[in-house]
Amino acid sequence: MGAWDIGPFGNDNAADFAGELDDTAPEQREDLVRAVFGTAVDEDGEFDELDAEDGDRIIAAAALVAAQCPGGTPIDTAYGPEQPLPLFGPETRRLAVTALTGVLSEDSELAELWDESDEGPAWRAEVKRLRAVLSAA
């Protein structure tokens, strides 16, 4: 796991996602974020098995959406996107909540990896905090 911090942009996959967002046309950035959330569920709305890379990207995308919500934390890291982001709508927030639930599920490789580390409880608390901010918005 290429992670150096439990924060949403504390890993290689999230930093790569930020670069991908910066390279995406402004009018397509929300679609990219929504597509990332879509990796958590299958066509029937059931949770898919999530690999660690998808989980990292979901958390990063959710942090960007949550940053626009009351109680959200601004993204202030060199590893986050540099380009402006759109104002995310309510449907994107709902998708983020669902995707974060998938990240925390027993079918998540990322959760399994974090649970094997000493930082697992702190990581879970951070993901749950993001989900709570998004749920309340």
pLDDT in tens, 77-130: 999 999 999 999 999 999 999 999 999 999 999 999 999 999 999 999 999 999
- Beta-bridge partners for 47: 41
pTM to 2 decimal places = 0.94
**Domain total of the chain:** 1
Find the domain containing 72 and state its range. 12-136
Residue 90 belongs to some domain of the structure: yes
With respect to residue 4, please indicate whether it lies within any of the assigned structural domains: no
**Domain assignment present for 103:** yes
To 5 degrees, how large is the angle CA 71–CA 31–CA 35? 90
d(Cα 65, Cα 87) in Å, to the nearest integer?
A: 8
Specify if 6 maps to a domain. no
Residue 25 lies in a domain: yes
| pLDDT of 134 strictly over 80 | yes
pLDDT attached to residue 49: 86
- Residue 4: exposure state from Cβ atoms within 10 A (0-12, 13-18, ≥19): exposed
Q: Give yes or no for a contact between 62 and 99, defined as CB atoms under 8 angstroms apart.
A: yes
